Amino acid sequence: MKLASALFCSSIALALWTATPVTAQAANDTGTDVIKNYLVTQVTKMDAASHDYVANAAAYNKIIEANGGDYNKAAINNGPELLALVAKMQGDYKNLHMNGYETVEGIAAGVKELVKYDIYFDSGVPSNEATTDNPSAPIDLKTASGETIDNNNGNLFHYVIEQCLWGANKDLVKKLSPEASAKLHGIVVLPRADVLVASSIDCADKADQFLADSKAWQPTLDECVGALVWMTPTFNTYYDDLKDSLYNPSGKYVSESRVLDMRGIMGSLQLVYNAIRPQLEAKDPALAAQLKSEYDGIMRHVDETDRRDKAARAAGKKLSEVEIDELAEQAKHMSDQLAPQLEQAATILGLKLPPKPFLA
C-alpha cells in the first residue's frame, strides 16, 4: 500500500541503519556445546535489543504525550526527535530480527523446547489462517488506549512491530496532516505510540524468557540432527516469501530483503552441522564430506541469490518472478537431496530423531 512506501523513506530515517547482518560461522571447537554457546550468544544480543526498543518506545511515547496525544502537533514541534527515535527503533527491530532471531531460527524452530518462540516472534500466522503445519501466534497485547492485539493479527515481528515501524498497516499508524507531513520531509504517517510501547514491553518479556530457556537447554545429538532434518527442507519456501514481498506485498518483510533471512537460517544450520560433523567423520568420512559440501553449496546459492537481488535493486528493478522460481527450484533440489543423507547420518550415529517440533 502507499502508506508503506511513503513512511520513513527520507534519507534521515534510512541512513541511520547501516549495520551488516550477522552470519553464522562455525567455530573450530565441535559438539553440542558449540551450538548452545552460539545460540546463547545470539539470543543475548537479541535480548539487549529488545530492552533498547523498550527505552526508545518510551521516549517516543513521552514526546507524543507531551503534545497532548496530537501526532500532528508532535510532528511540527518535535519532528527531528521523532524521526531519530523511529530510526533507532527500526535499528532495534533489525537487531531483534535479522541480526538476532533469524541467525538462530534454524536451531530454535527445529527444537521442541524452543519452537514456541519461533511461532510467537516470527512464524505464527493469524488465527484464521492457522493449520497444523502453520500454527497461529499466541500474542495478546493490550495497548494504553485499551485496544487488544491478539492472535487474529499474527506473529509479533512481521504483523505488529515491522508493520507499525514501517507504516505498512494503516491500523497501526496515525495519518498526518499536510502541514505536519511537510515538517517531516513528506512522511505521511507516524507509528502509534501505544502500539510501540505495548509491543516493546511484550517483546522484552518474551526475549528474557527465550534467553533463559536457551541457557537452560541441554542439547542432544538427536535434537541437533533432528533440527537439520526438519529445517533444511524449508530452504526453498523462503523464495515464495521473497516473491510475495516483491509482487504481493502484505506488509511483511518490508524492512529488509527476505534473502537476509535465508542467510541467517541456513547459516545457523550449517553451523549445527559443522559442529557435529567430526562425530560423523569418525564413522563415515565420505558421508560427512558430502554433507559438508551440500551445506557449502546451499550457502553459495544464498550468496548468488543475494548478488542478483542486490544487482536488481541497485538498478531500480526487482528479481523477476521467473528468476525467483528458478532459484527456488534449485534450492528445492539441494534441500531434497540433503534430506535422505541426513537421515542416513542419523542411522549411522545410532540416533533416534525426535518428532517434528510443534506446540501441539
What DSSP string describes 252-276? TT-SS-HHHHHHHHHHHHHHHHHHH
- What mean pLDDT is reported for the chain? 89
Q: What is the pTM of this model?
A: 0.89
- Range(s) of the domain holding residue 216: 2-348
Cα 62–chain centre separation: 28
356 is a domain residue: no
The rounded radius of gyration (Å) of the Cα atoms in the chain is 21
Over the stretch 56-113, which tens digit does the pLDDT of each residue have?
999 999 999 999 999 999 999 999 999 999 999 999 999 999 999 999 999 999 999 9
Q: How far apart are CA 338 and CA 235, in angstroms?
A: 11
pLDDT value for 7: 53
Q: Tens of pLDDT along 170-190?
A: 999 999 999 999 999 999 999
In angstroms, the CA 95 to CA 21 distance is 8
pLDDT, tens only, 243-290: 988 888 766 778 888 898 899 999 999 999 999 999 999 999 999 999
| pLDDT confidence tier of residue 121, bands split at 50, 70 and 90 | very high
Q: What is the mean pLDDT of residues 143-147?
A: 87
Q: What is the mean pLDDT of residues 150-175?
A: 91
> Is 69 within a domain?
yes
Which DSSP letter does residue 161 get? I
Looking at residue 173, its pLDDT comes to: 96
DSSP 251: S
pLDDT band at 241, cuts 50/70/90? confident
Q: What pLDDT, on the 0 to 100 scale, is given for residue 9?
A: 43
From start to end of 260-357, where are the E strands? none
Residue 131 confidence class, pLDDT cut points 50, 70, 90: confident
Distances (CA, A) of 294 to 43, 124, 288, 308: 27, 29, 10, 21
Is residue 23 predicted with pLDDT exceeding 60?
Answer: no
CATH number of the structural domain spanning residue 38 = 1.20.1420.20
Closest listed residue to residue 252, CA positions, set 148, 189, 310, 166: 166
Q: Is the pLDDT of residue 309 over 70?
A: yes
Count of the separate structural domains present in the chain: 1
Whether residue 355 is contained in a domain is answered as no
In a domain, 62, yes or no: yes
Which residue spans within 147-231 are E strands per DSSP? 148-149, 173-175, 189-191
Q: What's the pLDDT at 116?
A: 95
Pairwise CA distance, residues 36 & 217, whole Å: 8
Instruction: List phi, psi (to 5°) of 357.
Output: -75, 115
Does any domain span residue 357?
Answer: no
Q: What span, in angstroms and rounded, lies between the C-alpha atoms of 319 and 234?
A: 21
Considering the domain boundaries, does residue 359 fall inside one?
A: no
Percent of the chain with pLDDT strictly greater than 70:
90
pLDDT in the model for residue 256: 82
| Residue 295: closest CA among 255, 254, 339, 250 | 339
Judging by beta carbons within 10 Å of its beta carbon (0-12, 13-18, 19+), is residue 352 exposed, middle or buried? exposed
Buried b (16+ CB within 10 A) or exposed e, 132-148: eeebbbebebebeeeee
- Answer whether 190's CB lies under 8 Å from 82's CB: yes
| pLDDT at 33 (0 to 100) | 93
The predicted structure's pLDDT at residue 11: 33
Select the more confidently predicted residue: 44 or 256. Answer: 44
Cα torsion through 327, 330, 335, 341, rounded to 10: -160
